[in-house]
A = this chain, B = another copy of it.
Amino acid sequence: MNTENAKSQMRKGMLEYCILLLLHKGPAYASDIIQQLKEAQLIVVEGTLYPLLTRMKNDRLLKYEWQESTQGPPRKYYALTLDGEEFLRHLDSAWNELTNTVNILHNGSEVVISKE
């Protein structure tokens, strides 16, 4: 049994949430997104990201604008739509439910999350 596959499966659906979280802070283009996710310790490759962005755009969660670059081809800057913002709130709930589920299964005791 393969740990990498398990981690990959865990990512399913999470990636959509993470991208919404990220774009909630401001527009970004694909390489931006990959870089920022990497900094948040989530490795994503192009073959995963591009179809996902296209799907989210078709579902009206995202919109984009072309922007010129000083070095290289133009970039597609993605941003959340109003639908995207609303959907993000739904996924926030879903995520909270999921963490709560894991905490209950883990030990049934409360877990305190504190920022540093």
Q: Does A67 contact B (CB under 8 A)?
A: no
- Oligomeric state, in number of copies? 2
| Cβ-closest chain B residue relative to A1 | B59
Cβ–Cβ < 8 Å partners of A113 in chain B: 103, 111-113
Query: Across the interface, do B10 and A95 meet the contact criterion of CB distance under 8 Å?
Result: yes
The 0/1 profile, CB within 8 Å of B marked 1, for residues 1-33 of chain A is 101001111111110111001100000000000
Measured as residues with beta carbon below 8 angstroms from the partner, the interface class of chain A is 35 or more
Q: Is the interface of A mostly helix, strand, loop or mixed?
A: helix
Cβ–Cβ < 8 Å partners of A70 in chain B: none
Q: How far is the CA of A102 from the CA of B17 in the complex (A)?
A: 9
Cβ–Cβ < 8 Å partners of A105 in chain B: 18, 21-22, 40
